[in-house]
Amino acid sequence: MKPIVSLLLFCALITTSQMKGQTAEELHRKANTYAASGKYSEAIVLYNKSIETKPTAEAYNDLGISYGNLGQFDNEIPCYQKALELRPQYADALTNLGNAYSSKGQYDKAIESFRSSIDRNPDNPNTLYNLAIALSATENDYKAVDEFRKAIELNPQFVNAHVNLGIVFNKIGEFTKATDEFKEAIAINSDLPDAWRNLGNSYAYAENYDKAIESYKRAIYLKPDYAEAYSNLGIIYSTQGNDDLAIEQYKLGISKDPKFAQNHLHLGNAYLNKKETDKAIASFIEAIRLAPNYTKAHYNLGIAYESVNEHDKAIQAFSEGTKVAPKDPLMYYNLGLIYANKGQDTLAAGYWNHVLKLNPKFADAYYGLGMIAGQHEMIEDKIKYFQLAARNGNIKAQEYLQKIDQKW
């Protein structure tokens, strides 16, 4: 081990000697060279030395960028803050600060930083774009649309802005506008697999499945290992009732990226459609292994177990699902169903009452409580629950109340 330690010390001495006698500007320029070639750790050493020699807002800003490129966001943020202390009007530092907050999921702080940057420099399309991304992440989609449009107005060739504007339009159900944005992006650069896949999503949402398939295939042609595109293509085939073709696509996607949990989930769904339950269960379990917090995988695993009367395993799957998604009423509703079918009415009622705390308009939970009341000859309670179920759209409750000439 001693020779290794000596070598490391020798290297450190060389680095130190190389920095001696250099001005802050020279150290900064050399640091930029390292950063440009992806040698961020080396750049950080030189930026810090430059700052020791002569602190500047630019050096702190560039130091923050290097920390950010290494994923060291907690070190990154103070650099931009220090840059702004030295130069409060530094728009680029505010934009970078916003990006750092976004990386940490602190979108409210990110939005504030981006807006401050825009106040100082309203003509930077990148800042407007980043603001739009943060707004969409906080469900402010219509405001995000406005900012994307401003960015595109400043730079009509801004491909990512067109693509992400299209994604937001899909999110708010404006499928025609989304399609137009993806086509704009493709017109600028026809070799963008993400644009083609999202165009396929727009067509799929609009139930134009032939064009969706064509778009997904184009995305795969451009990016043969595009696991998400295989997943989307498989979903279309399943929607069309062709689970065999869907399974083929999911398996292709898994062969390209075995760790992409979504393809395992959808493969399980296709097997469940074909009543190949053992294969479905294996696929859902694999999806959970890859993504332990995958709510849909826990839920579908419970459904698969229940479909073959593996009640205890279904209870375990749904119970695990409640840990992952404690506010998902469907997990608790299905637990209630299982216990009701097992004749454990008290447990069933407890789960359904919890469902109604999470979602007071969950009609089937009212119906289930009404059924339990009826089984215990609590007729007034049965009618009360059925009326609540009927008001929220449960057809069986509506039919029952019509037969006994009861309004709801």
How is 212-261 classified by DSSP, letter by letter? Answer: HHHHHHHHHHH-TT-HHHHHHHHHHHHHTT-HHHHHHHHHHHHHH-TT-H
Residues 300-338 pLDDT 10s? 999 999 999 999 999 999 999 999 999 999 999 999 999
Identity (one letter) of the amino acid at 189? N
Q: Nearest to residue 152, comparing CAs of 188, 201, 100? A: 188
Residues 249-304 pLDDT 10s? 999 999 999 999 999 999 999 999 999 999 999 999 999 999 999 999 999 999 99
Predicted model pTM: 0.81
Q: Return the pLDDT at 382.
A: 96
Spatial CB neighbours of 198, under 8 Å, sequence gap ≥ 6: 163, 166, 167, 170, 178, 182
Whose structure tokens read 């001495």?
13
Dist. CA 284–CA 289, nearest whole Å: 9
Q: Nearest to residue 217, comparing CAs of 238, 234, 240, 241? A: 234
Residue ranges of alpha helices (H) inside 23-90 are 24-36, 40-53, 57-69, 73-86
With 50 as the cut, is the pLDDT of residue 12 above it? Answer: no
Q: Return the pLDDT at 11.
A: 29
Domains of the chain: 23-155 (1.25.40.10)
Q: Return the pLDDT at 22.
A: 86
281, 304 Cβ separation under 8 angstroms: yes
Residues 54-97 pLDDT 10s? 999 999 999 999 999 999 999 999 999 999 999 999 999 999 99
Q: Nearest to residue 251, comparing CAs of 231, 273, 232? A: 231
Residues 177-230 pLDDT 10s? 999 999 999 999 999 999 999 999 999 999 999 999 999 999 999 999 999 999
Q: Say whether 173 sits in a helix, a strand or coil.
A: coil
Q: Return the pLDDT at 5.
A: 31
DSSP string, 81-143: HHHHHH-TT-HHHHHHHHHHHHHTT-HHHHHHHHHHHHHH-TT-HHHHHHHHHHHHHTT-HHH
With 60 as the cut, is the pLDDT of residue 6 above it? Answer: no
First to last CA, the chain: 82
Mean pLDDT of 17-31: 81
CB atoms within 10 A of CB 165: 28
Q: Return the pLDDT at 21.
A: 66
H or E element at residue 273:
helix 261-273
Helix axes 277-290 and 261-273, enclosed angle (nearest 10):
160
Dist. CA 361–CA 359, nearest whole Å: 5
| Residue 405 φ/ψ region, left for φ over 0, alpha for ψ in the -120 to 50 degree band, beta for the rest | left
Helix axes 295-307 and 329-341, enclosed angle (nearest 10):
20
